[in-house]
């Protein structure tokens, strides 16, 4: 008997619920709660088994505590927004329930991507005998586990890591984001940081571009170096890393729109006065853009996300690439979502499953690469995100 409380009924939440509902022997009871309960009910109506739904404002710790006490889950899966991470962790501590999320905490007023706030909960989770698993999505999430798996099985020591996130999908809109637009735009307009020779180096957003040809004929894409939160924990947990970088593909149209929106101030995250009201431009922009959860039926093409690791094995240098390719329409046929929500929601379900079954245990706050990667890798193959590992003869993005 394991009951899970899932918070957040957006694109990712819908996939987590679909995948958990398909495993009744693990997730014997499911409650889906979010700010707008009608969105929970709409997801519940897509399922072939009943789940409970509830309304909650996850910015309010007391509301969360009341909901958790009423539902008594063994685990809370947080797929609301990064702004709610700390209130949900507080409520888990107050009620004695384990916690899992897919994105690190961000304060509303600064686009800062760092684990400091959540790592500060380490002692409190330890003292309470509870486990918090951070970053159980795809990136962060599967990419951290890919790195841990390669380090465990393919190398004696890893030195260089390039995480490459290609979305070769096309939704037909001139400009739309594949996950929450506010979070997505905050992330891609932030300064780039990569790890080089023992420290993080800052460069302007989108200032380093390379070309990457995906395997299995997914295509060749322009990728841009940017900061991504998993770099922070991976260089701590794999201290032999000398360089770690994150790359993401963007199309010309996306970048042009983003540049114009930035130039006219529409991506600002601070309040501005408008006709006697205070509005935050990026939140207004979000209201105008297509809802990512509606992109499923119109998105075609594939994602290709993976990690290229260089290091030493038996004194020899080698480079190994671990990746997953996922077709947007296959995801839509299975769970009525596009691949970005799917590739995030499936690892969230897998992390939850491993915690509930007692395969992954511990007390304290953990980044996902601290867990044994093997059962997670096995489950990716089983639940819709099969991966492939190939050795590369040549790989060098640094001189592009
Ligand atoms: P959406 O915007 O589609 O969904 C977010 C959901 O959270 C909405 O249902 C929203 O409610 C709800 N929510 C927001 N604020 C509150 C609140 N105060 N109380 C209760 N519910 C609230 O986002 P996504 O589904 O695209 O993303 C969900 C999470 O997944 C984000 O944290 C994102 O950063 C993360 N993510 C992680 C990835 C990874 O690979 N690790 C990749 C993609 C996303 P309402 O409907 O009322 O607005």
Say whether 391 sits in a helix, a strand or coil: strand
DSSP, collapsed to helix, strand or coil, labels residue 54 as: strand
User: pLDDT grade, residue 187 (50/70/90)?
Assistant: confident
pLDDT of residue 180: 86
Q: How far is the CA of 345 from the centre of ligand 1 (A)?
A: 11
Mutate to test the pocket of ligand 1, among 5, 32, 35, 347 (most ligand atoms within 8 A of CB): 35
User: 109 pLDDT band (50/70/90 cuts)?
Assistant: confident
Helix (H, G, I), strand (E, B), or coil: what is residue 343? helix
Residue 92 DSSP one-character state:
H
* pLDDT at residue 286, as a whole number: 93
Query: Measured in angstroms, how far is the CA atom of residue 34 from the centroid of ligand 1?
Result: 9
Phi, psi of 222 (to 5 degrees): -80, 125
82-to-87, 145, 238 alpha-carbon distances in Å: 10, 21, 25
Question: How far is Cα 202 from Cα 191, in angstroms, rounded to an integer?
Answer: 7
Residue 122 CA to residue 55 CA, distance in Å, equals: 29
Mean pLDDT of 165-191: 90
Instruction: Give the pLDDT band (50/70/90) at residue 101.
Output: very high
Buried b (16+ CB within 10 A) or exposed e, 310-348: bbeeeeeeebbbbbbbbbbbebbeebbbbbbbbbbbbbb
What average pLDDT does the segment 160-188 reach? 92
Least confident of 31-40, 109-118, 152-161, 223-232: 109-118
Output the CA 101–ligand 1 centroid distance in Å: 11
Taken in order 200, 126, 130, 358, is the CA torsion positive or negative? Answer: positive
Give tens-digit pLDDT for 358-396: 999 999 999 999 999 999 999 999 999 999 999 999 898
Measure 315 CA to ligand 1 centroid, in angstroms. 45
Q: Which of 100, 141, 180, 234 should be mutated for ligand 1, with most atoms under 8 A from CB?
A: 180
Residue 1 confidence (pLDDT) above 90: no
Atom of ligand 1 nearest to the CA of 183: 34
127 Cβ below 6 A of ligand 1: no
Question: Closest Cα to atom 26, ligand 1: which residue?
Answer: 179
CA-closest residue to ligand 1 atom 4: 10
- How remote is the CA of residue 230 from the centroid of ligand 1, in Å? 18
What's the pLDDT band for 57 if we cut at 50, 70, 90? very high
CA of 365 to the centre of ligand 1 (A): 21
Could you tell me if the CB of 78 is within 6 A of ligand 1?
no
The whole-number average pLDDT for the span 186-201 is 93
pLDDT of residue 400: 53
Helix/strand/coil for 112: coil
- Distance CA(33)–CA(55), nearest Å, equals 5
In the prediction, which pLDDT does 178 show?
Answer: 85
Alpha helices in 264-368 (DSSP H): 281-288, 328-335, 339-356
pLDDT at 399 over 60: no
Per-residue pLDDT, averaged over 311-318, amounts to: 98
Catalogue all structural domains in the chain, each as residue range(s) with its CATH number: 142-326+387-392 (3.30.360.10)
Q: Using one digit for the tens of pLDDT, what is the confidence trace for 221-279?
A: 999 999 999 999 999 999 999 999 999 999 989 999 999 999 999 999 999 999 999 99
Residue nearest to atom 3 of ligand 1 (CA): 10
> Mean of the pLDDT values across residues 298-311?
97
Residues in the chain: 400
Taking the centre of ligand 1 as the mean of its atom positions, its distance from the CA of residue 40, in whole angstroms, is 12
């Amino acid at each position: 008997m394991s009951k899970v409380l899932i918070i957040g009924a957006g694109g990712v939440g819908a996939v987590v619920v679909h995948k958990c509902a398909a495993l009744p022997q693990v997730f014997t009871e499911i409650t889906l709660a979010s700010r707008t309960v009608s969105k929970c009910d709409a997801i519940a109506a897509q399922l072939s088994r009943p789940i409970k739904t509830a309304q909650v404002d996850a910015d309010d710790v007391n509301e969360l505590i009341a909901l958790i006490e009423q539902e008594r889950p063994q685990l809370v899966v947080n797929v609301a927004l990064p702004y709610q991470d700390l209130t949900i962790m507080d409520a888990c501590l107050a009620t004695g329930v384990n916690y899992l999320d897919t994105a690190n905490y961000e304060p509303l007023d600064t686009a800062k991507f760092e684990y400091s706030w959540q790592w500060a909960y380490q002692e409190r989770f330890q003292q309470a005998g509870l486990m918090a698993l951070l970053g159980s999505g795809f990136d962060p999430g599967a990419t951290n586990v890919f790195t841990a798996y390669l380090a465990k099985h393919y190398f004696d020591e890893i030195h260089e890591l390039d995480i490459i996130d290609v979305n070769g999908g096309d939704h037909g809109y001139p400009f739309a984001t594949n996950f929450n637009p506010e979070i997505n735009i905050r992330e891609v307009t932030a300064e780039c940081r990569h790890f080089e020779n023992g420290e993080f180096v800052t460069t302007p957003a989108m200032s380093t571009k390379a070309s990457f040809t995906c395997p299995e004929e997914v295509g060749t894409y322009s990728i841009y170096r940017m900061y991504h939160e998993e770099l922070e924990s991976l260089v701590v947990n794999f201290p032999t890393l000398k360089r770690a970088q994150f790359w993401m593909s963007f199309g010309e149209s996306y970048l042009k729109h983003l540049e114009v929106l930035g130039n006219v101030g529409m991506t600002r995250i601070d309040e501005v006065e408008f006709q006697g009201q205070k509005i935050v431009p990026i939140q207004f922009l979000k209201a105008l853009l297509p809802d990512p959860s509606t992109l499923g039926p119109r998105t075609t093409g594939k994602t290709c996300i993976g990690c290229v690791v260089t290091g030493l094995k038996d004194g020899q240098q080698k480079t190994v690439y671990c990746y997953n390719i996922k077709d947007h329409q296959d995801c839509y046929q299975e769970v009525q979502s596009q691949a970005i929500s799917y590739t995030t929601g499936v690892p969230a379900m897998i992390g939850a499953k491993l915690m509930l079954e007692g395969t992954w245990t511990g007390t304290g706050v953990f980044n996902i690469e601290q867990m044994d990667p093997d059962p997670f890798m096995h489950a990716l193959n089983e639940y819709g995100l099969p991966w492939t590992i190939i050795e590369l003869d040549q790989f060098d993005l640094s001189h592009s």
